[in-house]
Amino acid sequence: MRTREFGGTGRKVSIIGQGTWAMKNNGRDALKLGIELGMTHIDTAEMYTGAEELIGQVIRNRRKEIFLVSKVVPSNASYKGTLLACDASLKRLNTDYIDVYLLHWWSGSHPIAETMRAMEELVAAGKIRHIGVSNLDIDRLKRAQRALTREKIACNQVLYHLRSRGIEHRLMPYCESHNIAVVGYSPFGQGHFLLGSSKQAKALSVIAHRHGKTPRQVALNFLTRRESLFAIPKASNVDHVRENAGGTGWQLTDEDVQLIDSVFPPSKDEPLDMI
Protein backbone atom coordinates (compact mmCIF):
# COMPACT_ATOMS: atom_id res chain seq x y z
CA MET A 1 0.00 0.00 0.00
CA ARG A 2 1.38 3.38 -0.99
CA THR A 3 1.57 6.16 1.56
CA ARG A 4 1.81 9.92 1.22
CA GLU A 5 2.15 12.88 3.51
CA PHE A 6 -1.08 13.73 5.25
CA GLY A 7 -1.55 17.49 4.80
CA GLY A 8 1.05 19.38 6.80
CA THR A 9 1.37 16.77 9.53
CA GLY A 10 4.66 15.31 8.34
CA ARG A 11 3.09 11.84 8.70
CA LYS A 12 3.10 9.29 5.89
CA VAL A 13 -0.34 7.76 5.73
CA SER A 14 -1.85 4.99 3.60
CA ILE A 15 -3.56 6.54 0.61
CA ILE A 16 -6.42 4.08 0.93
CA GLY A 17 -7.72 3.73 4.44
CA GLN A 18 -10.61 1.91 6.04
CA GLY A 19 -13.96 3.50 6.86
CA THR A 20 -15.99 2.03 9.71
CA TRP A 21 -19.44 3.58 9.47
CA ALA A 22 -22.02 0.93 10.42
CA MET A 23 -19.23 -1.60 10.83
CA LYS A 24 -20.28 -4.31 13.22
CA ASN A 25 -18.46 -7.22 14.79
CA ASN A 26 -18.61 -8.97 11.42
CA GLY A 27 -16.12 -6.38 10.16
CA ARG A 28 -13.42 -7.58 12.56
CA ASP A 29 -11.61 -9.89 10.11
CA ALA A 30 -11.85 -7.32 7.33
CA LEU A 31 -10.36 -4.60 9.51
CA LYS A 32 -7.51 -6.90 10.58
CA LEU A 33 -6.79 -7.97 7.01
CA GLY A 34 -6.85 -4.35 5.88
CA ILE A 35 -4.16 -3.52 8.44
CA GLU A 36 -2.08 -6.49 7.27
CA LEU A 37 -2.38 -5.15 3.72
CA GLY A 38 -1.14 -1.73 4.83
CA MET A 39 -4.48 0.09 5.06
CA THR A 40 -3.48 1.41 8.47
CA HIS A 41 -5.37 4.68 8.09
CA ILE A 42 -8.57 3.98 10.02
CA ASP A 43 -11.53 6.34 10.08
CA THR A 44 -14.17 6.32 12.77
CA ALA A 45 -16.39 8.66 14.81
CA GLU A 46 -18.15 8.79 18.14
CA MET A 47 -21.32 8.62 16.06
CA TYR A 48 -20.44 5.20 14.54
CA THR A 49 -21.95 3.15 17.31
CA GLY A 50 -19.82 0.16 18.19
CA ALA A 51 -17.08 0.88 15.66
CA GLU A 52 -14.70 2.57 18.10
CA GLU A 53 -14.88 -0.39 20.49
CA LEU A 54 -14.22 -2.82 17.64
CA ILE A 55 -11.22 -0.79 16.47
CA GLY A 56 -9.93 -0.63 20.04
CA GLN A 57 -9.88 -4.43 20.15
CA VAL A 58 -8.35 -4.86 16.70
CA ILE A 59 -5.50 -2.36 17.12
CA ARG A 60 -4.49 -3.48 20.59
CA ASN A 61 -0.74 -4.30 20.50
CA ARG A 62 -0.23 -2.54 17.18
CA ARG A 63 -1.31 1.01 17.92
CA LYS A 64 1.93 2.56 16.61
CA GLU A 65 1.29 1.31 13.06
CA ILE A 66 -2.14 2.87 12.94
CA PHE A 67 -3.16 6.36 11.84
CA LEU A 68 -6.37 6.75 13.78
CA VAL A 69 -9.00 9.35 12.97
CA SER A 70 -12.13 10.01 15.00
CA LYS A 71 -14.73 12.78 15.14
CA VAL A 72 -16.78 14.76 17.61
CA VAL A 73 -20.45 15.13 16.71
CA PRO A 74 -21.47 18.85 16.43
CA SER A 75 -24.07 18.66 19.20
CA ASN A 76 -21.21 17.74 21.58
CA ALA A 77 -18.78 20.29 20.18
CA SER A 78 -18.93 22.90 22.95
CA TYR A 79 -15.60 23.55 24.68
CA LYS A 80 -16.32 21.14 27.52
CA GLY A 81 -18.32 18.74 25.36
CA THR A 82 -15.41 18.32 22.94
CA LEU A 83 -13.03 17.49 25.78
CA LEU A 84 -15.48 14.96 27.21
CA ALA A 85 -16.28 13.43 23.82
CA CYS A 86 -12.59 12.93 23.12
CA ASP A 87 -12.03 11.23 26.47
CA ALA A 88 -14.97 8.92 25.77
CA SER A 89 -13.60 8.05 22.31
CA LEU A 90 -10.14 7.36 23.74
CA LYS A 91 -11.69 4.99 26.23
CA ARG A 92 -13.71 3.14 23.60
CA LEU A 93 -10.68 3.03 21.29
CA ASN A 94 -8.55 1.73 24.13
CA THR A 95 -5.74 4.15 23.34
CA ASP A 96 -4.25 7.28 24.84
CA TYR A 97 -4.13 9.33 21.63
CA ILE A 98 -6.00 9.92 18.39
CA ASP A 99 -3.91 10.92 15.37
CA VAL A 100 -6.44 13.37 13.93
CA TYR A 101 -9.60 14.48 15.70
CA LEU A 102 -12.26 16.05 13.48
CA LEU A 103 -15.31 18.19 13.90
CA HIS A 104 -17.77 15.91 12.07
CA TRP A 105 -19.68 18.74 10.38
CA TRP A 106 -20.26 22.44 10.98
CA SER A 107 -21.83 22.97 14.34
CA GLY A 108 -24.99 25.02 14.41
CA SER A 109 -25.06 24.39 18.14
CA HIS A 110 -21.70 25.70 19.36
CA PRO A 111 -19.38 28.51 18.20
CA ILE A 112 -16.42 27.21 16.21
CA ALA A 113 -14.06 29.15 18.51
CA GLU A 114 -15.16 26.96 21.44
CA THR A 115 -14.64 23.73 19.53
CA MET A 116 -11.23 24.78 18.28
CA ARG A 117 -10.12 26.01 21.70
CA ALA A 118 -10.90 22.55 23.07
CA MET A 119 -9.12 20.92 20.12
CA GLU A 120 -5.94 22.91 20.81
CA GLU A 121 -6.13 21.97 24.45
CA LEU A 122 -6.40 18.30 23.44
CA VAL A 123 -3.27 18.66 21.31
CA ALA A 124 -1.42 20.30 24.20
CA ALA A 125 -2.50 17.45 26.49
CA GLY A 126 -1.20 14.86 23.98
CA LYS A 127 -4.67 13.31 23.58
CA ILE A 128 -4.81 14.15 19.90
CA ARG A 129 -1.92 14.77 17.50
CA HIS A 130 -3.68 16.92 14.90
CA ILE A 131 -6.94 18.76 14.29
CA GLY A 132 -9.19 18.22 11.29
CA VAL A 133 -12.65 19.01 10.01
CA SER A 134 -15.25 17.33 7.86
CA ASN A 135 -17.91 18.55 5.45
CA LEU A 136 -16.71 22.15 5.53
CA ASP A 137 -16.89 24.50 2.56
CA ILE A 138 -14.12 27.05 2.00
CA ASP A 139 -15.74 29.79 4.04
CA ARG A 140 -16.21 27.54 7.07
CA LEU A 141 -12.77 26.04 6.64
CA LYS A 142 -11.30 29.54 6.84
CA ARG A 143 -13.36 30.31 9.93
CA ALA A 144 -12.21 27.09 11.60
CA GLN A 145 -8.57 27.87 10.80
CA ARG A 146 -8.91 31.44 12.07
CA ALA A 147 -10.29 30.11 15.36
CA LEU A 148 -7.04 28.20 15.95
CA THR A 149 -4.20 30.07 17.61
CA ARG A 150 -1.34 27.57 17.25
CA GLU A 151 -2.40 24.56 15.21
CA LYS A 152 -3.16 24.12 11.53
CA ILE A 153 -6.13 22.23 10.10
CA ALA A 154 -4.70 18.92 8.86
CA CYS A 155 -7.57 17.67 6.71
CA ASN A 156 -11.07 18.19 5.41
CA GLN A 157 -13.01 14.94 5.03
CA VAL A 158 -15.64 15.28 2.33
CA LEU A 159 -17.92 13.28 0.06
CA TYR A 160 -16.01 12.28 -3.08
CA HIS A 161 -16.86 9.59 -5.58
CA LEU A 162 -17.11 9.29 -9.35
CA ARG A 163 -20.65 10.63 -9.48
CA SER A 164 -19.97 13.35 -6.94
CA ARG A 165 -16.96 15.42 -7.99
CA GLY A 166 -18.17 18.87 -6.97
CA ILE A 167 -15.18 19.44 -4.65
CA GLU A 168 -12.84 19.49 -7.65
CA HIS A 169 -13.89 23.02 -8.68
CA ARG A 170 -12.86 25.09 -5.70
CA LEU A 171 -12.54 23.15 -2.45
CA MET A 172 -9.82 20.75 -3.58
CA PRO A 173 -7.60 23.50 -5.08
CA TYR A 174 -8.10 25.58 -1.93
CA CYS A 175 -7.07 22.67 0.31
CA GLU A 176 -4.08 21.93 -1.92
CA SER A 177 -2.89 25.52 -1.76
CA HIS A 178 -3.07 25.37 2.06
CA ASN A 179 -1.55 21.89 2.40
CA ILE A 180 -4.76 20.44 3.83
CA ALA A 181 -5.31 16.73 3.10
CA VAL A 182 -8.57 15.97 1.27
CA VAL A 183 -10.01 12.71 2.56
CA GLY A 184 -12.76 11.45 0.30
CA TYR A 185 -15.49 9.51 2.02
CA SER A 186 -18.07 7.14 0.48
CA PRO A 187 -15.79 6.45 -2.51
CA PHE A 188 -18.27 3.82 -3.70
CA GLY A 189 -21.30 6.06 -3.20
CA GLN A 190 -22.22 4.21 -0.01
CA GLY A 191 -22.42 0.93 -1.88
CA HIS A 192 -24.32 2.35 -4.88
CA PHE A 193 -21.23 2.09 -6.97
CA LEU A 194 -22.61 2.01 -10.47
CA LEU A 195 -26.18 3.11 -10.60
CA GLY A 196 -25.21 5.17 -13.58
CA SER A 197 -25.63 4.44 -17.23
CA SER A 198 -24.06 1.41 -18.85
CA LYS A 199 -21.77 3.89 -20.65
CA GLN A 200 -20.12 4.51 -17.29
CA ALA A 201 -19.87 0.82 -16.42
CA LYS A 202 -18.43 0.08 -19.84
CA ALA A 203 -15.79 2.81 -19.58
CA LEU A 204 -14.63 1.55 -16.18
CA SER A 205 -14.43 -2.02 -17.38
CA VAL A 206 -12.42 -0.98 -20.47
CA ILE A 207 -9.92 0.85 -18.24
CA ALA A 208 -9.87 -2.00 -15.71
CA HIS A 209 -9.14 -4.47 -18.48
CA ARG A 210 -6.20 -2.38 -19.76
CA HIS A 211 -4.54 -2.57 -16.35
CA GLY A 212 -5.65 -6.01 -15.20
CA LYS A 213 -7.65 -4.36 -12.38
CA THR A 214 -11.30 -4.17 -11.35
CA PRO A 215 -13.66 -1.21 -11.90
CA ARG A 216 -13.59 -0.42 -8.16
CA GLN A 217 -9.80 -0.41 -8.18
CA VAL A 218 -9.95 2.00 -11.11
CA ALA A 219 -12.32 4.23 -9.12
CA LEU A 220 -10.04 4.24 -6.04
CA ASN A 221 -7.00 4.96 -8.17
CA PHE A 222 -8.76 7.88 -9.83
CA LEU A 223 -10.06 9.26 -6.52
CA THR A 224 -6.53 9.30 -5.11
CA ARG A 225 -4.75 10.52 -8.25
CA ARG A 226 -3.57 13.82 -6.72
CA GLU A 227 -1.04 14.24 -3.93
CA SER A 228 -3.64 15.80 -1.62
CA LEU A 229 -6.06 12.89 -1.83
CA PHE A 230 -6.93 9.92 0.39
CA ALA A 231 -9.91 7.54 0.17
CA ILE A 232 -11.55 5.63 3.00
CA PRO A 233 -13.80 2.87 1.61
CA LYS A 234 -15.66 0.80 4.15
CA ALA A 235 -15.62 -2.95 3.67
CA SER A 236 -16.78 -5.62 6.10
CA ASN A 237 -16.09 -8.36 3.63
CA VAL A 238 -12.50 -9.65 3.40
CA ASP A 239 -12.64 -10.07 -0.38
CA HIS A 240 -13.73 -6.46 -0.70
CA VAL A 241 -10.80 -5.37 1.48
CA ARG A 242 -8.37 -7.30 -0.69
CA GLU A 243 -9.79 -5.69 -3.80
CA ASN A 244 -9.67 -2.20 -2.30
CA ALA A 245 -6.04 -2.60 -1.30
CA GLY A 246 -5.25 -2.99 -5.02
CA GLY A 247 -6.50 0.51 -5.79
CA THR A 248 -3.02 2.05 -5.57
CA GLY A 249 0.50 1.16 -6.67
CA TRP A 250 -0.20 1.59 -10.39
CA GLN A 251 -1.13 4.53 -12.58
CA LEU A 252 -4.00 5.51 -14.80
CA THR A 253 -2.93 6.95 -18.15
CA ASP A 254 -4.02 10.37 -19.44
CA GLU A 255 -6.31 8.52 -21.83
CA ASP A 256 -7.96 6.67 -18.92
CA VAL A 257 -8.49 9.92 -17.04
CA GLN A 258 -10.01 11.58 -20.11
CA LEU A 259 -12.41 8.68 -20.53
CA ILE A 260 -13.46 8.89 -16.87
CA ASP A 261 -13.94 12.66 -17.22
CA SER A 262 -16.13 12.14 -20.26
CA VAL A 263 -18.51 9.65 -18.63
CA PHE A 264 -18.39 11.01 -15.05
CA PRO A 265 -18.17 14.77 -15.66
CA PRO A 266 -17.46 16.75 -12.48
CA SER A 267 -20.76 17.95 -11.02
CA LYS A 268 -21.19 21.68 -10.65
CA ASP A 269 -19.70 23.42 -7.66
CA GLU A 270 -22.34 22.83 -5.01
CA PRO A 271 -22.36 23.90 -1.40
CA LEU A 272 -21.32 21.05 0.86
CA ASP A 273 -24.02 19.39 2.85
CA MET A 274 -23.55 17.01 5.70
CA ILE A 275 -24.17 13.48 4.51
Q: Give the interface with ligand NAP as residue ranges (CB under 6 A).
A: 19-21, 43, 104, 134-135, 157, 185-191, 216, 232-237, 240, 243-244, 275
Q: Residue-wise over 123-153: b if at least 16 C-beta within 10 A, else e?
A: beeebbbbbbbbbbbeebbeebbebbeebeb
Q: Which of 144, 197, 153 is nearest to 177 (CA)?
A: 153
Encode 157-168 in three state secondary structure: EEECECCECHHH
Q: Which residue, 19 or 81, is less far from ligand NAP as judged by CB?
A: 19
**Closest separation in Å from C-beta 19 to ligand NAP:** 2
174: CB partners within 8 A, 6+ apart:
138, 141, 180
**Closest separation in Å from C-beta 68 to ligand NAP:** 12
Q: Which residue, 33 or 80, is less far from ligand NAP as judged by CB?
A: 33
Q: Which residue, 40 or 157, is less far from ligand NAP as judged by CB?
A: 157
Q: Which residue is nearest to ligand NAP (CB)?
A: 19
**Closest separation in Å from C-beta 87 to ligand NAP:** 21
Query: Pairing state of beta strands 3-5 and 12-14?
Result: antiparallel
**Closest separation in Å from C-beta 188 to ligand NAP:** 3
Q: Which residue, 24 or 124, is less far from ligand NAP as judged by CB?
A: 24
**Closest separation in Å from C-beta 44 to ligand NAP:** 6
Facing residues of 7 across strands?
none
Give me the torsion for CA of 153, 154, 156, 160, rounded to 10°: 160
Q: Which residue, 197 or 237, is less far from ligand NAP as judged by CB?
A: 237
